[in-house]
Amino acid sequence: MDVLSPLPANQAVAFARMSRSSLSCLFSRRRRASLVGALSAKYLFTLLRIDSWAVRGFALGTTSHGIGAARALQVHDDAGAYAGIALGLQVLLASLLIPLMFRWLG
């Protein structure tokens, strides 16, 4: 999993400018992490014997963002609902905590 995948787009741009890395590289890494998570989730959940649609959806929404939430909605309605909730909570927490982290790091 890519470390930068939880960052919303505007904060990812700020991070790229701060670390002097290219934006195209940053966004391609985020997209790749989302696709890998959405494509491998079924096999990983089966391997770990996770049967709850709520847990599957919440995990996909948190780790694979929009692509994972869309995939969860295709698979089961409950998984899609929990993926949407997870996606919203993750973005809300990131928008509150990342500025504090940047202020703390200096």
pLDDT in tens, 54-91: 999 999 988 888 888 899 999 999 999 999 999 899 88
Handedness of CA 32, 68, 37, 19 (dihedral sign): positive
How high is the pLDDT of residue 55? 95
Residue 68 in contact with residue 38, Cβ under 8 Å?
A: yes
How high is the pLDDT of residue 74? 92
How high is the pLDDT of residue 4? 46
How high is the pLDDT of residue 12? 62
N-terminal to C-terminal alpha carbon distance within the chain: 26
Whether this prediction's pTM lies above 0.85 is answered by: no
